[in-house]
Amino acid sequence: MAFKSKIKWVALFVLTLSLASLVAHLSMTKFSSMNLVQYSAKEALSHDFPNSGSPLKTRRNKRLWGAVRSLESLQPHANPRSSYPVPDENTNGFIYAKIFGGFEKIRSSICDLVTISRLLNATLVIPEIQQSTRSKGVSYKFKSFSYLYDEEQFIMLLKNDVNIVKSLPEYLKAARRRSEFPTFKPKNSASPNFYVKEVLPNLRKAKVVGLIVTGGGCLKSILPPSMSEFQRLRCRVAFHALQFRPEIQILGLRMVERLRASGQPFLAYHPGLVRDTLAYHGCAELFQDVHTELIQYRRAQLIKQGIINDELSVDSHSRRENGSCPLMPEEVGLLLRAMGYPSKTIIYLAGSKTFGGQRLLIPLRALFGNLVDRTTLCSKTELSDLVGPEAPLPADIFRLPLPKREQQLIDQWKKAGPRPRPLPPPPDRPIYQHEKEGWYAWILEKDKEPDPSPMEHRMQAHRLIWDALDYIVSVEADALFPGFNNDGSGWPDFSGLVIGQRLYERASSRTYRPDRKTIAALFNITRDEMYHPKRDWMLSVKEHLNRSLSEDGFFRQSLLSKPNSFLSHPLPECSCRIPSVETTKQIKGKDGRIVFGGEEECPKWMELARAEGARNDDMESAEDDNDTVEQLEPDAVDATSSLTSLIDHDEEWDPND
């Protein structure tokens, strides 16, 4: 009896102790949750670079951040070179256009529309960006074009090239609503002859013509040499007239200032993981689970639409080895570390949406802790101010299907067919709201992708603004590494547009142009010969990436990018060359056109300005020569001390040598 009473007291004591422990843990959770602080990129960078407020100029490793000397003589020059009359007020008529697609397709299409208007001597009505119309739920403060770009600057800066108006005259608007004017849907490879022979007669007759642009452009990229002035007009539109509205421009430059506040250079990286391009090239097997199914579903749609003339199921790994699939984030991280970038390097992640989500970025974040994006550099208030006041959307409330009445079940049983028959299957388990993750939840319940919801339409419009911010930061970055460009799909890509503007503004800027086929072969070497010394592999990576910075990458970019998008490689039409001591060898492509070395000589005033800037650069480089080797991280000193003599051989792979 006494033994049983002792057991009761012990059990009571254990129960009391457990209850006290539970109360203590709940209290700790309650009070600790009040002190949670949101991650701040500014505080993280100041922690890694404590001397950011020092007035001393931070010295850079020229092998990682220096300019490419062989391209320094190239200067931007998109001004007309020959007789270029101002547009006549009496034009052949009006051209209005609707542009479908994302940021890169919009930007490329607007440049083509201005060029076509000049070609046909037409007045261009400000194009309508369908992804930012009021029907998408955007703010009432903006029209479709002004949601992204500055209308007044666009009209003013192109007044000597094309007549541009904000809308059709009142007496023509009603006829447009009744669809009385001819409308064309040109391909992105349409030739000038198509517009002269097909569109121009209709324009002269009806005085108004509509264009529907869906393929990221409406004029072929490479034009005859006699039309070089039209190519330079494309450059003036893309790199001068297409300015983002002031709110976007100010915040984008503010983000650049915050990235450089620590005194350190930063690298911009765009993964290029977009569902459409992944489906186009058949890269589904590089992903897992639901993302593979989503890519395959989109690929089936592209095949049905006639965009792809290929099988649905293809070997993604062979496509990757051919360079048709993107470099995954972990591969980019390894390449940058092999190149010599330390783990504290500031990397800006561009791209409004990365297919595959944050899970794909975990290995890259492990290699580079200072991986930031717009959400860590900007506050929620700053981002919400850009989109303006928006009407609230109805909540997407999940409702379980109504249960069937007993009489309905009996009727179904009677209509099920002749006996004998098996018992009916158990009812499907309902899918609850918490089991639906993101925009791809439909794949759990249906075989057909539903139409976008109002919220999804609004998010598509918001992505235009996020891409604009990323574009500003990527153009201003000290180095750029594209994850997926020159994909051969024929559509303009974000990285290609950034590379083109960096090439135009400063051709010597550090812009990597990796060959994905070569990179895939290098990674296959690590799998096949994993026990060989790392030195050979690292030197091969450095050699390839350094060559991609200079004339080799320049030449390859011209052959692959320019046939699909002129803005990705606007040279030699939109540049000039300052005479230098070294003679420049001309390089011609397969079609006989000069892709490098065929630039005209720059005007004298540009040579004087260039000489003044060169003196300042020489003074800075003299200071940097005293400290060309970047200080190693404390945790990497022991691991690299034995390889110091080997790493010194990197000098022979410097692109400036």
**pLDDT in the model for residue 634:** 40
Distance of alpha carbon 197 from alpha carbon 202, whole angstroms: 9
Give yes or no for a cis peptide into 76 (omega within 30° of 0).
no
Distance of alpha carbon 195 from alpha carbon 563, whole angstroms: 19
- Under 8 Å between Cβ of 508 and 67: yes
- Under 8 Å between Cβ of 627 and 63: no
* 3-state class percentages of the chain: helix first, strand second, coil last, to nearest 5: 50, 10, 40
Ranges of beta strands (E only) in 317-370 are 346-349
**pLDDT in the model for residue 504:** 93
Is the pLDDT confidence value at 166 over 80? yes
Provide the percentage of residues in the chain whose pLDDT is more than 70: 76
Half-sphere exposure of 562 (CA within 13 A, CB side): 22
Distances (CA, A) of 257 to 211, 254, 377: 40, 5, 10
**pLDDT in the model for residue 638:** 40
Is the pLDDT confidence value at 552 over 70? yes
**pLDDT in the model for residue 513:** 92
Range in 15-24, 163-172, 270-279, 420-429 the model is least confident about: 420-429
pLDDT band at 640 (very low <50, low <70, confident <90, very high): very low
Helix or strand run (H / E) with residue 454: helix 454-476
| Three-state secondary structure call for residue 613 | helix
User: Measured in whole angstroms, how far is the alpha carbon of residue 29 from the centre of its chain?
Assistant: 40
Provide the percentage of residues in the chain whose pLDDT is more than 90: 35
**pLDDT in the model for residue 627:** 43
**pLDDT in the model for residue 512:** 94
User: Measured in whole angstroms, how far is the alpha carbon of residue 467 from the centre of its chain?
Assistant: 7
Tens digits of residue pLDDT in 531-544? 555 557 888 889 99
**pLDDT in the model for residue 651:** 38
**pLDDT in the model for residue 628:** 41
Give yes or no for a cis peptide into 454 (omega within 30° of 0).
no
pLDDT band at 435 (very low <50, low <70, confident <90, very high): low
- pLDDT, mean of residues 592-612: 69
DSSP state of 101: S
Tens digits of residue pLDDT in 251-297? 999 999 999 998 899 999 999 898 888 999 988 888 877 788 888 88
User: DSSP string of 482-503?
Assistant: ESS---SSSS--HHHHHHHHHH
**pLDDT in the model for residue 402:** 72
pLDDT band at 650 (very low <50, low <70, confident <90, very high): very low
**pLDDT in the model for residue 395:** 63
Higher model confidence: residue 132 or residue 548? 548
As a whole number of Å, the end-to-end CA separation of the chain is 94
**pLDDT in the model for residue 480:** 95
**pLDDT in the model for residue 356:** 81
- Kindly report the average pLDDT of the chain as a whole number: 81
Distance of alpha carbon 130 from alpha carbon 98, whole angstroms: 7
- Under 8 Å between Cβ of 91 and 125: no
Distance of alpha carbon 601 from alpha carbon 592, whole angstroms: 21
- Under 8 Å between Cβ of 504 and 570: yes
Give the strands of the sheet with 74-76, arranged side by side. 74-76, 575-577, 600-601
Range in 4-13, 103-112, 563-572 the model is least confident about: 4-13
Range in 1-5, 54-58, 344-348, 467-471 the model is least confident about: 54-58
Question: How many Cβ atoms sit within 10 Å of the Cβ of residue 607?
Answer: 15
- pLDDT, mean of residues 107-129: 94
Question: How many Cβ atoms sit within 10 Å of the Cβ of residue 52?
Answer: 16
Domains and CATH numbers, the chain: 94-243 (3.40.50), 248-386+456-576 (no CATH)
Higher model confidence: residue 59 or residue 118? 118
The single residue listed with the structure tokens 């324009």 is 203
Distance of alpha carbon 16 from alpha carbon 23, whole angstroms: 11
**pLDDT in the model for residue 648:** 39
Range in 7-11, 158-162, 370-374 the model is least confident about: 7-11
